[in-house]
Structure formats: C-alpha cells, structure tokens
C-alpha cells in the first residue's frame, strides 16, 4: 500500500512556457541501461556473466545491437533532440559511453563521464551532458560503505556552469539492490541515502540556495524510509492553475522534493517485478528549482519515458520495458527499466 505522508502543492502556469525557445529549456533524464558490458574479460571485475563464452553468449554483434537500441531511445527524448543531461547506471566502463556517443551522436556536442567504481561486478554510474549548454566545473565521487567494509556503486556529483551563468549540481545514483528481501536489504539503501545527504549538506554550508538535481535508480520508492526520512525528499505535486502558490514552502533551503511522487501515487512505475510496478527511478530537486527565478522546474514535465517501440507488446510481460535478456535468454531489447525525464526553464 502506498502511504500518503506529505504533499506540497505547487501551482504554476505552463502557458508562459508554451513558446519558449529550445535554448532556454534544460532537459534532464535518467536511465538504467541494463548491463552495458563490453565483451572483454576484465581481471579486476566479476564480469564473467557478460562474455562470449558465458551462458548469455554476450558478443560484439549483441553489443552493437545494444548501442543501436540505446541510441534510439535516447534520441527520442526531448522532442527528438536527446536530453541535455542524461544520468545512467549499469555501464561497465566509460569507454562504452564514449563509443556510444562517437557512433550515434557525432552531430551532438555531448561528453560522457563514468569514474571507475569499486563495485565488484563493474556496475558503474555515469553522466552524459551537452557541452553547448553546460560547462563541467568539477566531478566528485562518494563511495557508499556497507557492512564489512564492502563498497558499492559510486554516487557521482557534477558541478556545472549553465550557459546562463547559473551553477547547477547534479548527482547520479544507483543504490544497493533489494536482493535478499526489501526489508532485509533496507539498511544498505539507508546508508546510501545518508552518504548522499551528507554531500548535500556540505553544499548547503557554503551556498544559501543551491540548484540541485538528484536522479538515479534508488531501488526504493518515494515513500520508502531511505528516500523520505534519510535523504529527506518530500513529495511534490503540480496542478495546472495559472498561479504559483508557495504558501506551504518554508524558508529551509535544505528541502528536497521528489518529482516522481505523483506518478508513483497513481500506481505507475519504471520497473515491473512480479506484476507490481515499482517507481525505482526518480528525479529529486532542491527547493530553489521549484521557486527560483533563474532556473525552474517546468511543472508536470516529469514523465516516465516509454516510447511504443520499447514496450513489450504481448505475453506475460506485456506493457513492461522490452529488455536485452530474459534470464539467460537473449531478447535483443532495450532495458528492463523505463527512463524518467523532466524539463527546466532557464530564464
């Protein structure tokens, strides 16, 4: 059962933005790529599952098909222009993202970053961004330390300068899975939430009203303990009125707001597990991006991005994302997650 805990109602005119030029729109997305591995054995990683001789028979032909499929979805975002910022997870190495960009996005001014992670499987987070609109000032990484000093995927932090001279902080996440059970594994995601919250609080110490976008596959939903109480990301819902009502927004600039909550509250999700939709992939923003004057979230622009061509059309998994594999069976699809996307207006 989904728990209604707190909703901040923002009312914001969308008519003002109807004719806004593309250079004033910042499109932000996140996507779990579902195991984008190369075909080479890395002795430092447990990548045996994705090799030509493995049960999955992961080879160059299948990798090339994966590149094509990923590019097709990414190209479809943002009215066919691809997003300006794309956070990703489940990539083995940065050069895979570089290869994707070189092969399918040579007409775009895109750059990829994916620092090597301590995760034993080589599952990394990464970010692709549009150099035309953003200048990377700083890249940071936070390691989530679990029990027995085990490390998991890095939380990537990117500090950008927008072409409007505003500073933007973006954080890419892939929190520990629910393997072993949701309740049994909860402490690991709480640790990830606390690690990220510590980084957010460090920003708040020297910037009064920071512009922060947090996105990722959190392996928890918006009302779960890790998101709501430890990261402290509140629900937010927009309506379609003509006025901005900020009465219930207090003066605490440390507040975070979860753009995925409305979709979650309606029963939608990005990942389907045993006939149950889970809203694991989310975009969370700081208060300044709700009410600020220079860069602001375009209300109701958050969506689960699911073009028809990447939806399973029939059978037991009808309506789900069409994945690359079903177990060890190669299907040749896209990913087992739908992406999420949101737009921001730069004044």
Side-chain-side CA neighbours of 223 within 13 Å: the count stands at 15
Domain-located, residue 120: yes
Q: Which domain holds residue 231?
A: 8-346
**Span 315-333, pLDDT tens digits:** 888 999 999 999 999 999 9
Q: Are 268 and 245 in contact (CB under 8 A)?
A: no
Asked if 134 contacts 85 with a C-beta cutoff of 8 angstroms, the reply is yes
Instruction: Say which range, 7-16, 52-61, 218-227, 267-276, has the weakest mean pLDDT.
Output: 7-16
Within 10 A of 155 (CB to CB), how many other CB atoms are there? Answer: 22
Res. 215: pLDDT tops 80: yes
* Phi-psi domain of 274 (left: phi exceeds 0; alpha: psi -120 through 50; beta: other): left
d(CA 284, CA 222): 10
The mean pLDDT value of the chain amounts to 90
Structure tokens at 224: 């779960």
Q: Which residue has the tokens 């000093």?
A: 149
Taking residue 336's Cβ as centre, other Cβ atoms within 10 Å add up to 23
pTM over 0.75: yes
We report the CATH number of the domain holding residue 226 as: 3.60.10.10
Residue 36's contacts (CB-CB under 8 Å, 6 or more residues apart) are: 66, 70, 90, 91, 92, 96
Tens of pLDDT, residues 286-305:
999 999 889 999 999 999 99
Q: What is the rounded radius of gyration, in angstroms, for the C-alpha atoms of the chain?
A: 19
Distances, alpha carbon 5 to alpha carbons 209, 265, 300, 316, 327, in Å:
25, 11, 20, 34, 37
Residue 3 pLDDT: 43
pLDDT of residue 122: 77
Lowest-confidence range among 13-27, 109-123, 260-274? 13-27
| pLDDT for 202 beyond 50 | yes
- Split at pLDDT 50, 70, 90, the class of 248 is very low
Residue 181 pLDDT > 50: yes
Residue 34: pLDDT band by 50, 70, 90 thresholds? very high
Closest CA to 82 of 138, 133, 152, 11: 133
| Helix (H/G/I), strand (E/B), else coil: 337 | coil
pLDDT of residue 245: 38
Q: At 152, is the pLDDT very low, low, confident or very high (cuts 50, 70, 90)?
A: confident
Residue 230 neighbours by CB under 8 Å, 6+ apart: 190, 193, 194, 197
Q: What is the pLDDT of residues 48-65, one digit of tens each?
A: 999 999 999 999 999 999
- Judge whether 345 and 25 are in contact, CB under 8 Å: yes
Domains in the chain: how many in total?
1
| Measured distance CA(287)–CA(256) in Å, rounded | 6
Report, as an integer, the average pLDDT of 181-205. Answer: 95
Taking residue 137's Cβ as centre, other Cβ atoms within 10 Å add up to 12
- Split at pLDDT 50, 70, 90, the class of 244 is very low
pLDDT tier at 43, thresholds 50, 70, 90: confident
- pLDDT tops 50 at residue 242: no
Q: CA 103 to CA 117: how far, in whole Å?
A: 25
Identify the band that residue 148 occupies on the pLDDT scale cut at 50, 70 and 90. confident
- Is a pLDDT exceeding 70 seen at residue 16? no
Between 129 and 13, whose confidence is greater?
129
- The reply to whether 25 falls in a domain is yes
Beta bridge partners of 170: 158, 213
The predicted pLDDT at position 131 comes to 97
Question: Is 307 contained in some domain?
Answer: yes
Is residue 138 domain-resident? yes
Any domain includes 2:
no
Average pLDDT over residues 218-232: 97
- Mean pLDDT score, 193-222: 96
**Both structure tokens of 291:** 């009410």
- Asked if residue 213 lies in contact with residue 283, where contact means CB atoms within 8 angstroms, the answer is yes
Any domain includes 103:
yes
pLDDT of residue 251: 57
Whether residue 24 has pLDDT greater than 70: yes
Would you say residue 278 lies in a domain?
A: yes
- Enumerate helices (H) and strands (E) in the chain, giving the number of each: 6, 19
- Report the pLDDT averaged over residues 114-120: 85
Percentage of the chain exceeding pLDDT 90:
76
**pLDDT at 227 > cutoff 90:** yes
Residue 4: its pLDDT value, please? 42
**Does 159 have pLDDT greater than 60?**
yes
296, two tokens: 């602001």
1 domain-assigned: no
């Amino acid at each position: 059962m989904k728990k209604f805990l707190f909703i901040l109602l923002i009312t914001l005119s969308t008519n003002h933005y109807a004719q806004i030029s593309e250079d004033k729109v910042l499109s932000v997305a996140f996507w779990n790529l579902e195991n984008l591995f190369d075909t080479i054995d890395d002795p430092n990683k447990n990548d045996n599952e994705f090799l030509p001789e493995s049960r999955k028979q992961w080879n160059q032909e299948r990798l090339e098909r994966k590149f094509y499929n990923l590019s097709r979805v990414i190209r479809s975002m943002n009215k066919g222009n691809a997003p300006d910022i794309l956070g990703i997870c489940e990539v083995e190495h940065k050069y895979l993202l570089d290869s994707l960009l070189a092969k399918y996005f040579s007409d775009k001014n895109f750059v990829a970053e994916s620092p090597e992670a301590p995760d034993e499987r080589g599952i990394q987070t990464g970010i692709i961004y549009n150099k035309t609109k953003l200048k990377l000032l700083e890249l940071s990484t936070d390691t989530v330390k679990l029990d027995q000093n085990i490390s998991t995927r890095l939380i990537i932090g990117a500090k950008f300068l927008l072409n409007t001279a505003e500073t933007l902080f973006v954080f890419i996440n892939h929190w520990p899975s629910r393997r072993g059970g949701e309740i049994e594994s909860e402490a690991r995601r709480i640790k990830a939430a606390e690690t990220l919250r510590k980084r957010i609080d460090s920003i708040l110490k020297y910037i009064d009203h920071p512009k922060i976008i947090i996105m990722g596959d959190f392996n928890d939903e918006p009302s779960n303990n890790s998101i709501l109480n430890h990261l402290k990301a509140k629900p937010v819902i927009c309506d379609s009125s003509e006025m901005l009502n900020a009465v219930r927004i207090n003066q605490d600039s440390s507040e975070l707001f979860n753009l995925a909550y409305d979709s979650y509250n309606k029963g939608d999700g990005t990942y389907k597990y045993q006939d149950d939709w889970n809203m694991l992939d989310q975009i969370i923003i700081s208060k300044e991006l709700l009410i600020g004057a220079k860069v602001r979230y375009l209300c109701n622009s958050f969506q689960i991005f699911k073009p028809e061509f990447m939806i399973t059309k029939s059978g037991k998994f009808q309506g789900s994302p069409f994945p690359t594999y079903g177990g060890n069976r190669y299907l040749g699809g896209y990913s087992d997650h739908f992406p999420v996307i949101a737009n921001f207006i730069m004044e």
